[in-house]
Structure 1
Amino acid sequence: MIHPRVLKKQRMLVLLFLSLILITSFIAMGIGYSSVSFDRLIPAILGQGTFKEEFVFFSVRLPRLIITILAGMALALSGAILQSITRNDLADPGIIGINAGAGVAIAIFFLFFPIEAGSFVYMLPAVAFAGAILTAGLIYLFSYQKNVGFRPVRLVLVGVGFAMALSGSMIILISSAKRSKVDFIANWLAGNIWGTDWPFILALLPWLIILVPFTLYKANRMNLLGLSESAAIGAGVSIEKERLTLLVTAVALAAASVSVTGGIAFIGLLAPHLAKALIGPRTQLYIPIAVLLGGWLLLVADTIGHNLADPNGVPAGIMTALIGAPYFIFLLMRNV
């Protein structure tokens, strides 16, 4: 049973991060290359703005903002699942190569397959999922030892190796491609949020609507998997079945996210860690906070990066790496 004081603290933290998302969103709406003054935002939202104000708000700013928040949430939840099922504080879909696997699949699809503009947006998450699940399966296979099982640091090292190999493959793929297509892949690799129109939201949102409640439903099993295999077996948990199910869920969340935002790492590492530090390691408590934290962190990174330099700004993936890479090194030194 969860203590009422802890539940109250969780609700307060949820409200806090919801408020931070709303405040940051309001700020992001009012700044940028085509700025809209803050006193005109509310009239524009209510449909009482000028044509320019409503165009900037509904066609440019709002879709990008929603995509950024949803993608950050998906990456945070993916990281939380991976850390739980591997009992590894270093697990993150970007660090262990899952994002890179999705990226290679997207690059092959984009460069070599005939694409219809109408179906391109909705096919991307499925293509990214195929590449990511194949990569995750190989990482899972190579990091498992028959007599020992999973070694947390080994999984990270295998994943980093796969990420580097897949990045090299990406360079080979784009070396002979057309300039316009190379530009797209380069932006994707940098984590430059490019899916900034309403269809991209419709492509990403169903994955979150289905998989967030599913993960919360599996919260008790994640608690047991995060402790030890013996504890999970003693509680009657089918370890391999649950681990595989949750791994597919984490891969689907990461693939759907990076298919429209590009190769963004460290959100899945930072958000669960910060959430656990705030509320504790119990899955039911920290996952809602981690999800909101992930959305807010990516929104902050994109808002700062997008307005840091004209005209295109700094990609959100680079901004998150500036914060996340030192934290990853700290965790790696602590766990080795």
Structure 2
Amino acid sequence: MKRRNFLKNTAASSIALSGLGSVMGASASESVISNDNAFKLNYAPHFGMFRHSAGDDLIDQLKFMADQGFTAFEDNGMTGRDVATQEKIGETLEKLGMTMGVFVVPKGGNMANTLAAGKKEHVDIFLEGCRQSVEVAKRVNAKWMTVVPGAFERWLPIGVQTANVIEALRRGAEILEPHGLTMVLEPLSDSPDLFLQTSDQTYMICKAVNSPACKILYDIYHLQKTEGHLIHNIDLTWDEIAYFQLGDNPGRNEPTTGEINYKNIFKHIYNKGFSGVVGMEHGNSEPGIEGEKKLIKAYREVDAFEV
């Protein structure tokens, strides 16, 4: 696939070498992100990640993210925000030229209301969450929303559980697909009781649902823990991946703080032509403004791959 016309490596390197003092002191603006400051990939911070530098106001935080060169944003809890706040976030993202990443389809939590059980009441909660998500997506100009099918239903054979999940997701896709929206299924490492845990399992389910409204959210942090072989498994499941998230392991903080070679992974997906969002679903390894400076420096470092 032909590579896109992104920031040249030399520009990224010069920004990193110039130090972060002027970057962190830059005033938040309403202007579209400058190509001189943008990253190669669409990394998406979340609210709170830069609150010591930008303050508690959500809009100021978005402006600060844009000033640092981030071209996307994600907010797991977007559906819980009031309509006026959602609309203001959407308007601000549009002005800043930023892409809205994922929010979570409300279904009661990662372990709750499992689709594997095949229970009508669980499926109804999920489908209502999909309908709510359509309205939220319109306000914030979102395309992707996270779905976690829930826990194992251990009294059922695994094949029956899988069929139940596929059937529920097909019904969710019927709600989302007419609006051009995509639920991204996230395999997790948080508990052995979760139904969805590996990339190949998620790939199989997406193939069976057979809809552009149902794809993979490949969370590099979780899948390093459950299966490893990251680049190999990314390649195996590539045609169903619509979204990435990350955190280093151990610790689930910014890249360079753990064992994952994020520079190589980012180079790999960039060269494969990935133009979607890479969600920064992790913490800061150090507190305060200094920790926020360290986080930005880390992203400059891992984004400075040769192309």
| Same fold by TM-score greater than 0.5 | no
TM-score, with structure 1 as normaliser: 0.30
TM-score, with structure 2 as normaliser: 0.32
Q: Higher helix share goes to which structure?
A: 1
Q: Greater RCO between the two (CA within 8 Å, min separation 6)?
A: 1
Q: Higher strand share goes to which structure?
A: 2
